[in-house]
Chains A and B, each alone.
Chain A
Amino acid sequence: AQSVTQLDSHVSVSEGTPVLLRCNYSSSYSPSLFWYVQHPNKGLQLLLKYTSAATLVKGINGFEAEFKKSETSFHLTKPSAHMSDAAEYFCVVSEEGNFNKFYFGSGTKLNVKP
């Protein structure tokens, strides 16, 4: 069975400092992994995705994530936070070949201080 654990419900960083949002998954199959961002009262926007290609994935707005099979992790990073990055971030896993099943993490709220 698939599951996703986002280790931090809230992360607070200062503008210009690095961002690290942690995600661990469990999967019986080769997973596909996604990071989505949600601004208040909005839908979800895809930041990046891993689908068994390169383990280091680059996404939009300077975000990237590294798939580490040995650690079952897919942490999201950004070298320098911007005020506009303040939002809720969701790590999502789906089974290889079964994209009708998406499993959402509980979300991490990122706060960026000026």
Chain B
Amino acid sequence: GAVVSQHPSWVICKSGTSVKIECRSLDFQATTMFWYRQFPKQSLMLMATSNEGSKATYEQGVEKDKFLINHASLTLSTLTVTSAHPEDSSFYICSARASGRTVTGELFFGEGSRLTVL
């Protein structure tokens, strides 16, 4: 199957700093990528949908200025957590839908990035 790579896998930062997480589709083009947040022992919560070359669509309750999403190419989307605080600590997962695979709607997930804000 297709491979989605997330980097970094783990990141620890100080409160007030910004952290960037990358999501890359390695062997396919992804016009649409999704960012999720997962709290311990909970399901995934969709944060935003990013489309290549356009602004991301954020879910209700997700701060756009807090979680900056950029999808500048067909293989890369980034999530930047700005001015991070301890409550932003979480597991962030991206997924990508391959171009042309809209019929089956198959999503491919990254390995996730665990953010810890001290």
Interface residues of A (CB under 8 A from B): 32, 34, 36, 41-46, 49, 51, 90, 94, 99-100, 102, 104-107
Contacts and interface: CB of A to CB of B under 8 A. Distances in A.
Contacts of B111: 42-43
B95 A44 contact: yes
Contacts, number: 52
A46 B106 contact: yes
Contact of A99 (B42, B105, B112): B105
B contact residues, range: 20 to 34
Given A43-B6, A43-B93, A51-B104, A90 B44 contact: yes
Interface in B1-31: 1, 4, 6, 9
Contacts of A43: 4, 6, 93, 95, 109-112
Contact of A49 (B46, B97, B104, B108): B104
Nearest to A46: B106
Given A41-B112, A104-B43, 10 more contacts: A41-B91, A43-B4, A44-B44, A51-B103, A90-B43, A100-B32, A100-B49, A105-B43, A107-B42, A107-B43
B107 interface: yes
A51 B95 CA distance: 19
A72 B104 CA distance: 20
A46 B108 CA distance: 8
B54 interface: no
A34 B93 CA distance: 18
Most buried by A among B4, B32, B42, B109: B109
A44 B109 contact: yes
A105 B44 CA distance: 9
Contacts of A104: 43-44
Contact of A106 (B43, B97, B109): B43
Interface string B26-51: 00000010100000001110100100
Q: Please give me the 10 A-B residue pairs with the lowest Cβ-Cβ distance, nearest first.
A: A99-B105, A43-B109, A44-B109, A43-B111, A104-B43, A106-B43, A43-B110, A104-B44, A43-B112, A107-B43
Most buried by B among A36, A42, A43, A104: A43
Given A43-B6, A46-B1, A102 B104 contact: no
